[in-house]
């Protein structure tokens, strides 16, 4: 019986420890999105969370470990907020547009205090060699690759001009969202996201075949119905 109680106690302690770790990382993501990963210090987090420095050290043995854990947690948030919502859309143009719309929504809703987490930390870490920069580069490249892959799917389905440059189109679409984030955060441009959506739609429409035009029209009609249902509630 004593052994059973001891095991149950350890499980409760581990659960409490994981809960505390996630609370720390949530605050860390907000700080990093607004002030950069270098703004993450044990002292700063201890102050914001009203915790002791020793308590924080128990979860993260070094600043680099804290930064890497923060990036990985931000990746999980991105998957939940951006990647997973696009899965129901049909592969090709519909999925591509769903991915970009989910990304714009994630930035527009300020899921993090400073806007797009990966935009902020990419600008900060691009010239700082090391494991932190490597992880940021790996994750941001993976998202650009996912956009390119979906453009390729659209081409294979006959929805995009077969002569369209996949890498160039992905670069353009990626840049529209990044520009919206920059313009909104730095200049408080209230039209930034509307401009980005219009630019994305124009870019896709110009590259689309007749089949692609139908796919885009179908998605626009479907999202319009969803919007009307939400407004009527």
Write the pLDDT tens digit of every residue in 2-23.
555 566 666 666 667 688 899 9
From 208, 218, 177, 217, select the one nearest 195 (Cα to Cα): 177
DSSP state of 41: -
Write the pLDDT tens digit of every residue in 34-74.
999 998 888 888 888 888 888 887 888 888 999 999 999 99
Separation of alpha carbons 142 and 144, rounded Å: 6
Q: What is the overall mean pLDDT for the chain?
A: 89
Separation of alpha carbons 82 and 84, rounded Å: 6
Give pTM, 2 decimals. Answer: 0.86
Average pLDDT over residues 77-92: 96
Write the pLDDT tens digit of every residue in 98-156.
999 999 999 999 999 888 999 999 999 999 999 999 999 999 999 999 999 999 999 99
Give the per-residue pLDDT at 153. Answer: 97
pLDDT higher than 70, residue 170: yes
Q: Is 51 left (phi over 0), alpha (psi -120 to 50) or beta?
A: beta
Write the pLDDT tens digit of every residue in 205-224.
999 999 999 988 877 666 65
Query: What domains are defined for the chain?
Result: 63-228 (1.10.357.10)
Give the per-residue pLDDT at 228. Answer: 40
CA angle (138, 142, 147) in 5-degree steps = 155
């Amino acid at each position: 019986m004593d052994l059973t109680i001891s095991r149950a106690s350890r499980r409760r302690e581990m659960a409490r420890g994981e809960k505390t770790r996630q609370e720390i990382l949530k605050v860390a993501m907000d700080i990093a999105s607004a002030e950069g990963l270098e703004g993450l210090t044990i002292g700063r987090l201890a102050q914001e969370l009203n915790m002791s420095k020793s308590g924080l050290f128990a979860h993260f043995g070094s600043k680099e470990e804290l930064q890497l854990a923060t990036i990985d947690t931000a990746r999980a948030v991105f998957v939940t907020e951006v990647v997973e919502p696009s899965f129901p859309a049909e592969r090709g143009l519909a999925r591509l547009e769903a991915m970009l719309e989910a990304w714009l929504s994630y930035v527009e809703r300020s899921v993090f205090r400073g806007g797009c987490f990966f935009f902020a930390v990419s600008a900060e870490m691009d010239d700082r060699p090391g494991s932190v920069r490597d992880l940021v580069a790996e994750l941001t490249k993976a998202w650009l690759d996912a956009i390119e892959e979906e453009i390729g799917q659209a081409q294979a389905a006959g929805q995009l001009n077969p002569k369209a440059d996949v890498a160039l189109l992905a670069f353009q679409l990626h840049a529209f969202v990044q520009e919206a984030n920059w313009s909104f955060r730095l200049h408080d441009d209230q039209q930034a996201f509307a401009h980005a959506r219009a630019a994305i739609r124009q870019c896709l429409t110009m590259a689309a075949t007749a089949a692609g035009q139908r796919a885009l029209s179908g998605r626009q009609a479907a999202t319009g119905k969803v919007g009307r249902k939400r407004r009527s509630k």
